Structure 1
Amino acid sequence: MSTITDTRGQVALRHLSKSYNLNGQTLPVLRSLSLDIRPNEALAIVGPSGCGKTTLLRLLAGLEKADSGQILIDGIPVTGVGTERAVIYQEPRLLPWLTVLQNVAFGLELRGLSRAQAQERAGRYIRLVGLEDFRNAWPRQLSGGMAQRVGIARALTVQPEILLLDEPFGALDAMTKLSMQEELARIWGEEAVTMVLVTHDLEEAILLADRVLVLTNDGTPPSLVTVDLPRPRDRNSADFVAMRRMLMGKFGLH
């Protein structure tokens, strides 16, 4: 867990249920899920397609409403989107007519900061993600990994309590993905932020998370796995490999 302590960013899920209507039939994806996410914790959510991973993230973001149950952040019920949460998607969705610096500062200007104030704070987070030399570059001049770094900087610059990530590296090539996972681990370690990460990649979950929430689509109750490994984590260590094997076993994989 991050060494920075903060009491903000505590999330409580209470008997959360969500279903969809598919061709006249009710398809439940979350069934009375209760969970406490600690301040500054990194939680990964894994499971097969259709198990409710992204649905849960959207509920946390306030982009969808649950059928029943409640989400509380710092004890306050979630009723929609909020400034204490920021979302990072698989595609960074940068504005092509703005430079890196302008993209990162954009949200701050919308919140009322002066351009000078916004760009000063944006510059800090551009340095944090290692893009100081590209602050004046256009999105079209960036690689996929660099563009995603801009997306991370843009999310962090509004200083959220909770960072929600939906398969943030799913569109990257294998080598860039490995590098970005290491970068995200470093960045989270430096920031006082609660992180909830949706991923299909079990290794990514073990590398980044304090705990892993395992969802299924066969009605089996969700389970929580504590990742009790020292940081920074070694993908090749015996304990890491054993943890990966254990998670694979939960999905019938060997």
Structure 2
Amino acid sequence: MQNVSRRSGSVLVIVLLLVVVLAALYFISDPFRTKVDESTRQATTWTPENIQKNPVGYLQFSLSELAAISSKLEARVLALNTQKNQADRQAGKADAEAGQLKLLVEQAKALYLQASKDGTWPVALNGHSVSEDQLKEKIVNAHQRAESLSARVQAYTQTTAKLDRALKDLFQKQKEVAGLQQKLQSDLEMVKINQSVKDIEHIEDSVAAIMATSQALVGADAGSLPELDVLLDAPETAKIDAAFQDIMK
């Protein structure tokens, strides 16, 4: 048992020494490092030589890569469509509220003008008695809220347009990926029959290019939706009077 242990220990020491020597050679010897790197590349990547040796394996690998990026593109399409639908809903909601507020402002303005002419303060507004100053403030607040909502409708519209452009690019890329998948599947069937790589010599570049552009689209920022519910600070009395005069023009 002791002899076995000694031999095992000796082997371990030799292995460790060999590792140390090889590591040292890798860092101090440019030719050795180049040879190791090239051997690693040949063993871990689809070089033209490796494609020649195993065209079926390469095509199967490429198809699996395209299937993966196709799934990512589809997920991105679903995510952007969800954002687009949300933007459309929020725009519709904001536009409807802005329309109601603008109508309220016009009604309140007419009420103010009539009360000022007749001297009949306070007046009834939506079942509540309001003074002249209170009606002024309500008109200003409703007008400012309507303006804010209208601006948000425009922001949502711009967001929707940006999402539409992003979706258009994604749809085009999906078509390109599907077309390349179809070609590679056809090539795979042919290679299985005759083991020829003549028809797939330039596929590596096509696959690499479409993978890169697809990944860029998947990771692209299509923009975030603007916030809808931003409360306006209550304006000061002096500002109310100035804003009211502008609204009543």
Q: What TM-score does the superposition give when structure 1 sets the normalisation length?
A: 0.19
TM-score by length of 2: 0.19
Tell which structure's C-alpha radius of gyration is larger: 2
Greater relative contact order (Cα < 8 A, sep 6+): 2
The structure in which a higher percent of residues are strand is 1
